Structure 1
Amino acid sequence: MLRYIGKLACLSVAVVLASREAWAQTEVLFPGATFAGDVLRGEGRFLDGAGRFNLNTATAHSILTDTLMRQSYALEMQTRESSLRHRDLLHRATERAGRAVSANQTRRLENPNLSDVANGDALNALVKELAEKAGPSYSDITALNVPVPGGTFVRAPLALPSEGLVISRARILARGEWPLILREPGFDDACSLYRRAVANAFEAVGRGDLRADSVAKIEEALRSFTVRLDWIAPDRDKADVIAAREFIRGLEAHAKCLRNARAERILADMLNYGGTTVGELVDFMRRSKLLFSPAASDSERELYNTLHPLLASQLRMLREARGLAVQGDRSTLRVASSADGK
């Protein structure tokens, strides 16, 4: 019997020791001696739980704040790294674009291809280089007397970038090949009316008294082309009609320069232009802020192929003259230094 009681006591002690942590976490309240005491003990346990809850809430807020700070820092570092990487990419792209532009400029100036010449890029590069080398007086290039073909300003299409216009007497005069449909007898009256109106307008520009009615007559002649073309279009080949419409639209676009005051002044200067050398051509284009527009016909491409070697020859002669002048200045300085030493 005593042995049984001893075993039961040891088992009870083991159970109590194993459950001590559980008792620490969960406390069971038993009824007290009075009702008021039980109420106060209950309120105390309630307030104890509320305090533990608020303590854990503050800890949670601290953990949340720390997490947000870490996230914000990580996002800031990621954004900074992305910005630096993007800036590096832009810098590399800018460098590549700059090298490409420099290579294209060098090619157009020193070794242009046929497309560079036909687009006018090679000629514009030479004109720009000559203008920069010549300085404000242009006496160096005008003294070299490299001739240009006669009628250059009649045949060359010159762009006026500030106004978005192309000034070309040849294109307005329409001296090139006309579309097949517009050569038919039914268009003879409209063709004569157009050419007469253009001739009168150019005469007025040369005198400096161009009026709106002169330009209106050109536009009226172009409308007569359109009316006649619309009348016969159903009975004609579609491709021929499209080609004729594009030709008429081209005439209308080129005639717009007559309604622009600045283009009119430049056209008047071109009509009265008497220059015969590359230097005078470059000077005129610089003062008028003109560029060679892309060639659109065989005659314009032929003119560009003729002008390009002349401009290149002018630049080569100018460089040689500048080189000799620099060598002469250096020789003079050496002689003066020697005389001072003696």
Structure 2
Amino acid sequence: MRRLAAFVLTAGVFLGDGRASAQQDVVFPGSTVEGDRLRGEGQFLKGMAWYNISAARARAIDEENERKWIAFNESMLGAYRTARAEAIAKDRELQSLRKEQRERALAEDERRYRTSPTPDDIESGKALNALLLDLSGPSSLSSWNSSEVPLPEGITLTALAFQFIPRRPTKPGMSQVKSCLVSLGRLDVKKWPFALSGAALADERRAYEQAYAKVVERCLAGSLDHEAIGPLDDALAALGAKVKDLPTGRGLRAEGVAFVKSLVEASAIFDASTADFAVEMIKDTHEHRAQTVGQLLAFMRKYRLMFAGAEQAGGAGDLYGQLYGLMREQKERLGIMDAYQTLEIAAAGRPTDLFNGRDLAGWDQLGPDRGNWRVERGVLVTEGRSRDWLCSRETYGDFELQLEFRMSPGANSGIYIRCPRRDVPSNDAIEIQLLDDAAPAYRDAPAQSRCGAIYAAAPAAPGFTKPAGEWNQIRIVAVGSKVAVHLNGGLVVDADLREFREQARRNPGIQRAEGFIGLQSWQGRVEFRNVRITAKS
């Protein structure tokens, strides 16, 4: 009888809270206990091997999927970055195109204001203000005495309307000057409009005239205070309330409301920030009248005024047209270059960016102590710790150079034009001064050293430099011997270099007709951006 071996498997059975165990013999025919054990271990190891192989395959599949996923993400991210870069480039190109179109449109407006203005250009004051900027160049003042254009009787300071050029405080305690209307002739009503000429408004008219006469009397005495202005405000309020009762027919109410509104606007000159100016202006206009174009502009420069619209002066459109012709004649007598002539330079070629916003490509650092220049966040920066300078790779003769600069308190720098290529070009180049004019160290600096001046030669008109820490815009136009410098929209220098013979003996570079463009590192941190030049071929 064949012996049967038993392979014993033990199973644990759990019943309730107690534990019982039993053994059951499993018999495989023709087997021995040892053989069965070995076969069992073999099967176990085989199963483990298949498990490991399957696990390895699964891990390989997972790793492959992960690799593909990472590659897919990197591909998508790369595509996104490329698309984003293209979109940004297109947007910048579009912005640049729009900016160029705006600049050309503004330049065309400037040309029209100076050559063939429309009646609206003149009556709005835009054409007169364009000529005002051209006639404000300090280098032309020396020739005024021999070429003054007289004003006719009708064009007086009180017949015209002005507005303050806004000015922010530059010193602690200084009030902000806002852009309010200055129309002394409107306030001093000699003839009331038809809508307000009726008997029903006689008391209100008389109260206003008496109140304004009292204000003028106090101004001339130098004793204006808020108590004197109170009755004027009360009279204006009474007029404003009464005109609302005027009939609407025939435009009576509309005319009355508009006139009283213009009086209220003109009376803003007696606000706290401009009352001192009002007192001085009323004194000036009572003591003398402007007899020439030069005296009119001197009055405007003194109080930082520009022309307001003719409607603010009681519809003085004819006077504005006459004054435009006289200011144009004054420009021609002085031989002042028209700013619109720079269009001819621009037409000679497209503007070129001298600074790419990324690195110093296109520039060379020159000077005894180099390495002071770097680029930070798209801005050219110098700390002014050395006497090096950046020199362009190309030379330029006639050109229009535009850039923005920002200075730290007390900073001193400059822009070289038509400059030779040497370590220290100061005495052999034309330098446009960049200076923190408000710094205590420079408050008494001569006009030839102010920001925007042709250093040690042509003085710059004051009052156009922004406080330290703010971006300034400068535009330099060089055509032959003529150099004009515009700072933050104002013409601060309009010079003919042939007139500076004495200065040329000390600095022969003033007479140079061509050379490199340079940015100076001298004192304090100065930053530059948007450096662009349009050169005549």
Scaled by the length of structure 1, the TM-score of the pair is: 0.76
Per-residue CA deviations over 1:251-306 (Å, capped at 9, x if unaligned) read: 11211112223432334333334431111112221232111101116641121012
Per-residue CA deviations over 1:5-61 (Å, capped at 9, x if unaligned) read: xxxxxxxxxxxxxxxxxxxxxxxxxxx964444343333322221111001101111
Structure 1 distance, partners of 2:270, 2:224, is: 9
Aligned equivalent of 1:202:
216
Per-residue CA deviations over 1:127-158 (Å, capped at 9, x if unaligned) read: 211222x527x231233231113351111001
- Answer 1 or 2: higher relative contact order, Cα 8 Å, separation at least 6: 1
Aligned equivalent of 1:224:
238
Aligned equivalent of 2:43:
38
SS in 1 for 2:157: helix
CA spacing shift, 1:286–1:189, aligned 2, 3 Å: same
Per-residue CA deviations over 1:315-339 (Å, capped at 9, x if unaligned) read: 111119x99xx8x98xxxxxxxxxx
* Alignment of 1:318 onto 2:334: yes
Structure 1 distance, partners of 2:242, 2:118, is: 43
Structure 2 distance, partners of 1:284, 1:97, is: 33
* Alignment of 1:244 onto 2:256: yes
Structure 2 distance, partners of 1:275, 1:253, is: 24
Matches of residues 253-264 of structure 1 in structure 2 within 5 Å? 253-259=265-271, 260-264=274-278
Aligned equivalent of 1:156:
160
CA spacing shift, 1:229–1:123, aligned 2, 3 Å: closer
Unaligned runs of 5+ in 2: 1-34, 167-177, 337-480, 483-495, 500-537
Structure 1 distance, partners of 2:310, 2:134, is: 21
CA spacing shift, 1:294–1:225, aligned 2, 3 Å: same
Aligned equivalent of 2:476:
none
- Match of 1:310, as an amino acid? L
- Match of 2:146, as an amino acid? A
Matches of residues 116-131 of structure 1 in structure 2 within 5 Å? 116-131=121-136
Per-residue CA deviations over 1:211-253 (Å, capped at 9, x if unaligned) read: 21221111111122234345x45xx336533432232222112
Following superposition, the deviation at residue 167 of structure 1 comes to 0.6
* Alignment of 1:166 onto 2:181: yes
User: What is the aligned-residue RMSD (CA, Å)?
Assistant: 2.7
- Match of 2:267, as an amino acid? A
Shifted more, 266-275 versus 243-252: the winner is 266-275
Report the structure number with the largest CA radius of gyration.
1
SS in 2 for 1:155: coil
Of 82, 102, 115, 2:87 maps to 82
Structure 1 distance, partners of 2:243, 2:117, is: 42
* Alignment of 1:93 onto 2:109: no
Aligned equivalent of 1:300:
316
Aligned equivalent of 1:105:
110
Aligned equivalent of 1:22:
none
CA spacing shift, 1:284–1:142, aligned 2, 3 Å: farther
Of 274, 299, 317, 1:284 maps to 299
CA contact (8 A) 1:167 1:263 kept: no
Structure 2 distance, partners of 1:148, 1:284, is: 14
Query: Percent of pairs identical after alignment?
Result: 21
Shifted more, 238-247 versus 40-49: the winner is 238-247
Aligned equivalent of 1:215:
229
Following superposition, the deviation at residue 206 of structure 1 comes to 2.3
Of 195, 203, 208, 1:189 maps to 203
Per-residue CA deviations over 1:176-229 (Å, capped at 9, x if unaligned) read: 54252x222121111011011111211221232212122111111112223434
CA contact (8 A) 2:156 2:290 kept: no
Aligned equivalent of 1:338:
none
- Match of 1:82, as an amino acid? A
Structure 1 distance, partners of 2:126, 2:276, is: 24
CA spacing shift, 1:267–1:58, aligned 2, 3 Å: farther
Following superposition, the deviation at residue 308 of structure 1 comes to 1.1
- Match of 2:162, as an amino acid? L
Following superposition, the deviation at residue 109 of structure 1 comes to 1.0
Report how many residues are paired: 288
> Which of the pair is proportionally richer in helix?
1
Structure 2 distance, partners of 1:274, 1:177, is: 24
CA contact (8 A) 2:164 2:180 kept: yes
Shifted more, 279-288 versus 114-123: the winner is 279-288
Aligned equivalent of 2:390:
none
CA spacing shift, 1:229–1:99, aligned 2, 3 Å: closer
Structure 2 distance, partners of 1:245, 1:106, is: 37
> Which of the pair is proportionally richer in strand?
2
CA contact (8 A) 2:164 2:181 kept: yes
Scaled by the length of structure 2, the TM-score of the pair is: 0.50
Aligned equivalent of 1:9:
none
CA spacing shift, 1:135–1:203, aligned 2, 3 Å: farther
Structure 1 distance, partners of 2:163, 2:242, is: 32
